[in-house]
Structure 1
Amino acid sequence: MMSKDPQAEDGSRNILFLGLVSLFNDTSSEIIQPIMPLFITSLGGGALAVGLVGGLSEGIPSILKILSGYAGDIMGRRKPFVLAGYGLSAAAKTLLPLSLTWQHVVLLKSIERCGKGVRAAPKDAIIADSAEPSRIGRGFGTVRALDTFGAVLGSVIAYLLWSAGLSFRDILAVAAALSLMAFVPLFYVRDIRRSPVVVLRPGISSLSPRLRWFILVASVFSLANFSYMFFMLRAQELFTGALAVGAPLLLYILFNVVYSGMAIPSGAVSDLIGRRWILAIGYALFSLVALGFVFVSSSEWLVLLFVMYGLVFAVVDGGQSAYVSDLSCDEIRCTALGAYHGMVGIASIASGLIAGTVWQIYGPAATFLLSALLAAVASCGMILGGVITGGESRQLSCSGRE
């Protein structure tokens, strides 16, 4: 009988515990997420405020994603950044219920997302280092599935708490208390240490041309993929009375159920057919979803669109990080992931501001039409990238030469 590989077992445990960390943290975060656009509007904020919160909360942490990825490679350690990131997010969540204006929400959501900025690249690097090379997509899919199962739990809890008559502030307080549970499984995550990289240029200059092209394409998709809050606002327009809050919450639960259920299969399929093609399909599907939100006029079509929206995230979210891991070598993987997260986050700032401005001036239809166009451009960019760069390769040197 063959003995099990201890290193492989340690890697599998790492992925499982990181998945549990994500599950608990996202249970907390997703209690907040579905009520966030409703909380903002209750504080007097309009579509532009929603776009500002969505864009800045994703974009401001971008520089932290780049720096934490770079620092993780320089130090040869990743877990301290993951721990600090979750700590910062938990601290901001405890203050969020005390917000008196939507400007307070902008500040605290930005701080909370800064926590993700600190931990994102080092966490993804631990996942990639823990997974077998041929199963990286499955590894990211596993973490995303547990992450999104937490999102399902969180959104269900949010709906139940709202149904029980709790105010938005009380619901946010519950979410803050639950955020501390993420630190229990994080204690058991083993840091995969690597020799510190002595000379390394931060940012995209040290990356291969193929990876730089993908980061450009992913940034275009980030412009198209404006905050989920606009999808929630669009859904809210089709309902009145209590359903104006309850129905969007239920649709958000549906989105997360599909996302969670399809994350692992999508990762496995990307391992088999290649990340480039699965991402091109995901971008194209998002374009169709955005186009659907231009014309949607019934609850039945909303259900279908939120199912498709969940499928898009299952395909794209973990797939993008896995593709960056494919196109970077071990020594600078943290830097590569940081550069990717950073550029995509910077695009998110513009995305939120553009979407909020277009919505306020021209209405929801124009906003979703613009999103559909940009997503279609990103899909074509993925396909065209194969022609320009000669297809996929997982064997790249640290200098970026293929």
Structure 2
Amino acid sequence: MTEDPPEGRGEGKRNIYLLGLVSLLNDASSEIIQPILPLFIASLGAGGLAIGLIGGLADGLPSLFKLLSGYWSDRMGARKPLVAAGYSLSAAGKLLLALSATWQQVFVLKVLERSGKGIRSAPRDAIIAESASREGRGRGFGVHRALDSFGAVVGSALAYLLWQAGMDFRTIFLVAGAVAFLALLPLVPVREGRRRSGGCLRPRLSPEIVPFVGVASLFALGNCSYMFFILRAQGFFSGDLAIGAPILLYILFNLVYTIFSIPSGAWSDRVGRKKVLTLGYLLFAVTSLGFALVSSAPVLILLFVLYGLVFALVDGAERALVSDLCGAEARGTGLGAYYAAVGVAAIASGLVAGALWQGIGPEATFLFGAAAAVAASVLIMRIPSPSAIS
């Protein structure tokens, strides 16, 4: 299969910003839920192991859809229908969360909601990669992540305001679902590059991608769910602050993530993806070590700043590197394979982190994360640099 890019670089930029706006609204809806979800799960009587199960399996299992949807978008020559289906499924899952009465029901509905992400992510990222030049791909992903994470700032701020206004968890979930359906509107004018059938009916992955996916999976194994960072923060506060303060810290995390996403993506274009990822992995190791040893609220604030910077460095650069390693005819498949592998690692990460948290203590969870991140930072420098792939 061959492709014609969107007509003109201006159209490509328009696609990136439209998809960024979709993500902004969708992530706002998600982040209305995210900072209160671990608190809601705990209120249903769940412990650390159950939270790890939800954080790992609910995020990891649907990642297998990313491989299938990415591959299918390459085969059928159309990505946008899968993107729309994924966002619609996520919106429905968020609305239904308001009806959950047990943590097991929360688990099922989170799997449903994250399955939508599994369906949309690889085709959407392929559209972003194809809407930017190779030398500007890191910045393109940085723009998308900046808009996405700004939505997280808006959403977590709304969560705090809605909580302060006296809304209960379930009502907040309903508000989040309504915002998620609004996110479908900016998707309508997105235009894909024209595709025409060719000889590549079975997209093949470059062997260069395999070692990097292994390193990214190792990092994901140590990068436990954000819910553990929220629960760690909650232990430093009492009364009303036990809910309000973790939400505010989560807003801080997303604000830092937003501010540094575009500069980090552009920096990866200039100095190379591997250098940026090495720094990001090492910074996560330092951050995790800090969460293991933290003993005061001021240090906790600094750690959430570093946590946001880690995501700004790592998230866009990983996706840009995968896109660099894949030709246009297999880009959806490559991104899907990356997401699937990282998702499986996330399942293991949630279970390991939850078991360590409940069996030994919070410190063990974060020390494990630091060790995995150090190992990933060493291994990534051994990966050959990508050849010039369009």
TM-score category by the smaller chain?
A: over 0.9
CA distance in structure 2 between the partners assigned to 1:81 and 1:330 by the alignment: 18
| CA apart distance, 1:194 | 2.2
Quote the residue 1:65 is aligned against. Answer: 66
| CA apart distance, 1:299 | 0.8
Quote the residue 2:180 is aligned against. Answer: 179
CA distance in structure 2 between the partners assigned to 1:239 and 1:63 by the alignment: 38
Change (3 A) 1:291 1:313: same
Quote the residue 2:138 is aligned against. Answer: 137
| CA apart distance, 1:94 | 1.0
1:120 aligns with 2:121: yes
Change (3 A) 1:10 1:274: same
Quote the residue 1:335 is aligned against. Answer: 333
Alignment of 1:37-56 (within 5 A): 37-56=38-57
| CA apart distance, 1:165 | 1.3
Higher mean C-alpha displacement, 144-153 vs 170-179: 170-179
Residue identity in the other structure for 2:119:
V
Higher mean C-alpha displacement, 27-36 vs 57-66: 57-66
Identity percentage of aligned residues: 58
Q: Which runs of 5+ in 2 are unaligned?
A: 1-5
Change (3 A) 1:379 1:201: farther
Residue identity in the other structure for 1:367:
T
Quote the residue 1:110 is aligned against. Answer: 111
Contact 2:63 / 2:339 at 8 angstroms: preserved in 1? yes
CA distance in structure 2 between the partners assigned to 1:275 and 1:337 by the alignment: 16
CA distance in structure 1 between the partners assigned to 2:389 and 2:9 by the alignment: 21
CA distance in structure 2 between the partners assigned to 1:395 and 1:180 by the alignment: 37
Runs of 4+ in 1 over 2 A off after TM superposition: 191-202, 206-210, 391-396
Quote the residue 1:393 is aligned against. Answer: 387
- Residue of 253, 263, 286 corresponding to 2:251: 253
CA distance in structure 2 between the partners assigned to 1:196 and 1:357 by the alignment: 49
SS at match of 2:277: helix
1:308 aligns with 2:306: yes
CA distance in structure 2 between the partners assigned to 1:330 and 1:147 by the alignment: 24
C-alpha distance after superposition, 1:42-99 (max 9, x if no partner):
1111111111111111111122101001100000110010000001101111100110
C-alpha distance after superposition, 1:96-122 (max 9, x if no partner):
011000001100001100000000100
Quote the residue 1:87 is aligned against. Answer: 88
TM-score of the superposed pair, with normalisation by structure 2: 0.96
| CA apart distance, 1:164 | 1.1
Alignment of 1:220-259 (within 5 A): 220-259=218-257
Residue identity in the other structure for 1:248:
P
Residue identity in the other structure for 1:15:
I
Residue identity in the other structure for 2:287:
V
CA distance in structure 1 between the partners assigned to 2:47 and 2:258 by the alignment: 30
Quote the residue 2:99 is aligned against. Answer: 98
Higher mean C-alpha displacement, 186-195 vs 56-65: 186-195
| CA apart distance, 1:199 | 4.8
Change (3 A) 1:287 1:197: farther
CA distance in structure 2 between the partners assigned to 1:196 and 1:293 by the alignment: 52
SS at match of 2:359: helix
- Residue of 257, 261, 268 corresponding to 2:266: 268
Change (3 A) 1:48 1:395: same
| CA apart distance, 1:276 | 0.8
Change (3 A) 1:198 1:36: farther
Residue identity in the other structure for 1:118:
I
CA distance in structure 1 between the partners assigned to 2:360 and 2:293 by the alignment: 15
C-alpha distance after superposition, 1:137-161 (max 9, x if no partner):
0100001000000000000000001
Quote the residue 1:189 is aligned against. Answer: 190
SS at match of 1:98: coil
Q: Which runs of 5+ in 1 are unaligned?
A: 397-402
Residue identity in the other structure for 1:82:
V
SS at match of 2:230: helix
Contact 1:148 / 1:256 at 8 angstroms: preserved in 2? yes
Please report the RMSD computed on the Cα atoms of aligned residues, expressed in angstroms: 1.3
Alignment of 1:375-394 (within 5 A): 375-385=373-383, 389=384, 391-394=385-388
Quote the residue 2:350 is aligned against. Answer: 352
Contact 1:138 / 1:264 at 8 angstroms: preserved in 2? yes
Change (3 A) 1:143 1:346: same
CA distance in structure 2 between the partners assigned to 1:115 and 1:243 by the alignment: 33
Quote the residue 1:400 is aligned against. Answer: none
